[in-house]
Amino acid sequence: MGQRDPGASTRACVFTLQRVNRAAHGAAATGGLSVCYRLVNLGPSMFAFLETQKTAVTAIIFVATFFATLTIGRFLKRRAGVRLGVPFQLFCLTLAFYAAILFYGLHVTWQKHVDAVAVLLTTAFVVALLDRYLWDAYFEKKRQATIPQFLRQVVALFIYLIALLVVLSVVYHAETQLKGLLAGSGIAAIVLGFATQDLFGGIIAGIALQISRPYKVGDWLNIQDRYAEVMEINWRSTRLRTNDGIYLDIPNYTIARGTIVNLHYPTQVHAMRIRVGADYKVPPNRVKDALHRAAASAEGVMLEPAPKIYVVDFAESSVIYEIKFWMGNHVHYNDVCDAIRTNIWYEFKRQRITIPFPIRTIHLERRQRRNVPEGHDEARAILRGEPLFDCLDDAQLENVLHNAHFNRYGRGERIIEEGASGDSMFIMLRGVAHVTVSRNGDDIRLGHMRSGDCFGEMSLLTGEARSATIRAEQDCEVMEIRKEVMAEILRESPQCLTQLSDLLAKRKLEGEGILKDALKPDEQKRKESEYRASFLKRLRAVFEL
């Protein structure tokens, strides 16, 4: 069979030495004859000894390789929990035999079969390691993911298939037959692929979801326009349950191809939104305050972060507001929304805020004269007590009220701005506003404007720029008297010019501190006379009188 003869080299050496011995006898009977004779007698035993030594070393390598590999396997089995059985023992035996024949230098025709067995048994060992360290240690323990046995078997079968192809193409050099086999089974593979594309698509998507971990059991997802809790994640699909106790079984490839909205990642705290409509007649800040109180007092709504209210749309019959509130576990979503909506109803009733029906109402009105808005009586009382309007009789005062503008300013809005031109004055009817001036880039607060206070009259009467900024601190109702209204009054009552100039001169002196600190009455009268003449000239110029 082509096996090497261990005694062939020994016999060749003995034959050579015998020829040397005969030559020595024929040449001379010297001392060298005895040396050659000893060498001839020692040669066969020496080579036999060397051959015995090589055989012994080969046996040692066989035993050492077998027990070393077996020891490693037992360590992996006992300490790491790798499942090894009879195939691993055969792997150890094959590896030891393979190492022995490589060392001995033995070449036989059936060695390719040993190579094939070694590759397949090595594949079995790799599959066992993969099952322990990838599926059990990584997915099951570290990622807390349940890997089905079917998936493990499919991956193992795929690895064995690769090993078999390697054996056929490399060990047995069956490229031609292998190509024919692959070509002949191509149609069957295509048909099988189409038939199992959903199955393997779900498996691959399940593996991707297990690796990326976009959600876990117990999380709430917004999926397919539904809110549902994750109950189970398997190799094919994800099972969820809605608040109504309805179970959803959605394939993993469907989830992986869409957008995953996880309400519980990275924490369970998340924001939700509710929309509600309110009457156009109610100021937005008043509605916002009512909605904020209703949401903050609802059970299940977190106080931090606090609820926020937004105006999101001006609809046909109402202003649409959106409540953004924060909550913990989404399982209580329905109860929290119910509590918020219930609180809104009671809060709106207390605040006299209506939620309009989606209807259209046409009002036909005939007006003989302009109606006076709400706050007319309060404005009349304030004007009657304001020194600027002491010169007006009741009819003129009513004319001012009818031509004035009643405005509302929301919280944070500017009523007047420092440095702007002013052609009107204001009277605060309701609310509070703060007064600030800008110095070196900083806003310095000077005081507040409250109900009954007048402001902006200096710019109206003198044409000067606004000297301060007044911003609403609360929702404010303000009456605005414009320049054309004052011009009409001054044209009808010229005596008001003198009274207004005296009042403005006195206010300017008060602002400069002359009335408090002046020591000479004559100088004070002179200053007052100069200011009076100056303001009278300005009034005539501003109102073109």
In the chain, where are the structural domains located? 8-193, 214-262, 270-350
Cα–Cα distance between 437 and 495 in angstroms, integer? 34
Q: Give the per-residue pLDDT at 126.
A: 82
Q: In what order do the strands lie in the sheet with 308-314?
A: 270-278, 319-327, 308-314
Over the chain (545 residues), the average pLDDT of each successive run of 10 is 45 46 46 46 58 75 80 74 73 76 68 73 79 76 67 77 78 57 53 58 71 84 89 84 89 84 90 94 92 93 93 92 94 93 92 82 57 69 81 83 87 89 87 91 88 86 86 90 84 79 76 54 74 78 75
* Pairwise CA distance, residues 40 & 23, whole Å: 13
Question: Phi/psi of residue 327, each to 5°?
Answer: -145, 170
139 forms bridges with which residues in the sheet? none
Give the span between the Cα atoms of 247 and 267, in whole angstroms. Answer: 24
CA nearest to 306, candidates 324, 294, 321: 324
| Distance in angstroms (rounded) separating the CA atoms of residues 516 and 235 | 91
Rounded Cα gap, residues 272 and 328, in angstroms: 10
* Residue pair 27/129 in contact by the 8 Å Cβ criterion: no
What CA dihedral angle connects 499, 503, 504 and 510, to 10 degrees?
160
Q: How many of the other CB atoms lie within 10 Å of CB of 337? A: 18
- The CB-side HSE value for 315 (13 A sphere, CA atoms) comes to 18
- Phi then psi dihedrals of residue 7, to 5 deg: -90, 0
CA distance linking residue 424 with residue 542, whole number of Å: 12
Contact 250, 260 (CB under 8 A): no
Q: Which of 295, 372, 381 is nearest to 339 (CA)?
A: 295
305, burial (CB in 10 Å: exposed 0-12, middle 13-18, buried 19+): exposed
CA pair distance 90, 96, nearest whole angstrom:
10
φ, ψ at 146 (rounded to 5°): -85, 120
Cross-strand bridge partners of residue 408: 477
| CB count in 10 Å sphere of residue 344 | 23
Provide the CATH number for the domain formed by 270-350 in this structure.
3.30.70.100
Q: Could you give the 3-state DSSP secondary structure of residue 467?
A: coil
Contact 237, 253 (CB under 8 A): no
Question: What is the DSSP secondary-structure string of 383-432?
Answer: HHH-GGGTT--HHHHHHHHHHSEEEEE-TT-EEE-TT-B--EEEEEEES-
Cα separation, 326 vs 145, whole angstroms: 30
Count of residues in the chain: 545
Dump the DSSP string for 316-380: SSSEEEEEEEEES-GGGHHHHHHHHHHHHHHHHHHTT-----S---------SSPPPPTTHHHHH
**Residue 302 contacts residue 269 (beta carbons within 8 Å):** yes
Mapped onto helix, strand or coil, the DSSP state of residue 134 is helix
Which pLDDT value is given to residue 503? 78
Angle at alpha carbon of residue 11, lines to 7 and 17, rounded to 5°: 145
Q: Please give the CATH topology (third level) of the domain spanning 214-262.
A: SH3 type barrels. (2.30.30)
Tokens encoding 452: 């009954």
3-state per-residue secondary structure call for 82-125: CCCCHHHHHHHHHHHHHHHHHHHCCCCCCHHHHHHHHHHHHHHH
Q: What is the pLDDT of residue 525?
A: 74
